[in-house]
A and B are shown apart, each in its own frame.
Chain A
Amino acid sequence: MQSAFQTHCQRENLKKVRTFMRKALEPYNMSNQLKYRIVLAVDEACSNAIIHGNNCNADKKITVELKVDSNRLDVKIYDIGHYSKEVAKQKDPDLRKKIAEKSKGGLGLRLMFAIMDEVQFYTQNKKNICSLSKELN
């Protein structure tokens, strides 16, 4: 099964992304905890795209594409923003440093990498793609 959702790059649209993901995952026989975690990982990826990639520019859009088969889930988030390379380096942030710097962000990648089996960032046809994959038992 494949489904997709598109929305403008505004923070308040994150709840729409979560609603799309929750509905799309409803038919599948996964634990509620796994569904919650997948929704969370996708929320984090979309937050990065909306806030860091597109600076919350409502003229720009992100597209979330979900594909599920019997033993694998793939989510791809597409956008055309510009990313600092520093963002991709925050897989394992130093929490004590974040406290010292009074930083509010930079924790999302840790969640994405912890929850999903594969997290990849690449560019294809001038689009940024964040690819999240999870093996399903």
Chain B
Amino acid sequence: MKKLTIDQNTEEGLLLLKIGGELDASTSIDLDGVINSALEDNKINILVNCKDLVYISSAGFGVFVSYIRDLAARNGKFVLYNLNKNVYDTFKILGLDDLLLIAKNEREAKSYFA
């Protein structure tokens, strides 16, 4: 069984979240708490490294969707990168292309904040 792991770092005004394991309707509560705390600390530019994320359900993407409005209102945003094939497949099926920014790698992800 793969638990969810969330590592946090800050770098040049960006919050870097590295998530690993499985993000479902149970573990997404943990991610929600981390993002909620980040916004309270005024960390509004958030990079999400999904390299070790092996599974995501709609509840996982739902957490990101639920904060888009708050971040946009404060000129912040999420950029998700290093999605594996299956995670990206789920993103595409959900039709989130126009709503969440996806980058291939960290370098491309950071370019959205340049």
Asked if B68 lies at the interface with its beta carbon under 8 angstroms from chain A, I say: yes
**Bound Cα distance A95, B65 (Å):** 8
Bin chain A's interface residue count. Answer: 20 to 34
Is B106 an interface residue when CB atoms closer than 8 A count as contact?
no
Question: Are the C-beta atoms of A98 and B65 separated by less than 8 Å?
Answer: yes
Are B93 and A110 closer than 8 Å at their CB atoms? yes
**Interface pair A99/B69, CB less than 8 Å apart:** yes
A99 near B68: Cβ-Cβ < 8 Å? yes
Q: Does A87 contact B (CB under 8 A)?
A: no
Interface residues of A in 1-48 (CB under 8 A from B): 11-12, 14-15, 18-19, 32-33, 36-37, 40, 43-44, 47
Contact residue among A32, A103, A110, A115 (Cβ-Cβ distance under 8 Å from B66): A103
In the complex, chain B residues whose CB is within 8 Å of the CB of A110: 58, 93-95
Most A CB within 10 A of own CB, among B58, B69, B94, B95: B58
Q: How far is the CA of A115 from the CA of B89 in the complex (A)?
A: 11
Our pick among A14, A108, A111 for the contact of B26 (Cβ within 8 Å) is A14
Q: Report the bound CA distance from A31 to B62 in whole Å.
A: 27
Q: Tally chain B residues at the interface, Cβ within 8 Å.
A: 31
Q: Is the interface of B mostly helix, strand, loop or mixed?
A: helix
Q: Shortest Cβ distance from A58 into chain B, in angstroms? A: 13
> Chain A residues near B55 (CB, 8 Å)?
18, 36, 40
Contact B68 A15 (CB under 8 A): no
Q: Is B63's CB within 8 Å of the partner chain A?
A: yes
Q: State whether the Cβ of A89 lies closer than 8 Å to any Cβ in chain B.
A: no
Cβ contact within 8 Å between B94 and A102: no
Q: Is the CB of A19 within 8 A of B58?
A: no
CA separation between A32 and B25, bound complex, in Å? 22
Question: In the complex the two chains form, what is the Cα distance from A47 to B22 in whole Å?
Answer: 14
CB within 8 Å of B: which residues of A? 11-12, 14-15, 18-19, 32-33, 36-37, 40, 43-44, 47, 50-51, 95, 98-100, 102-108, 110-111, 114-115
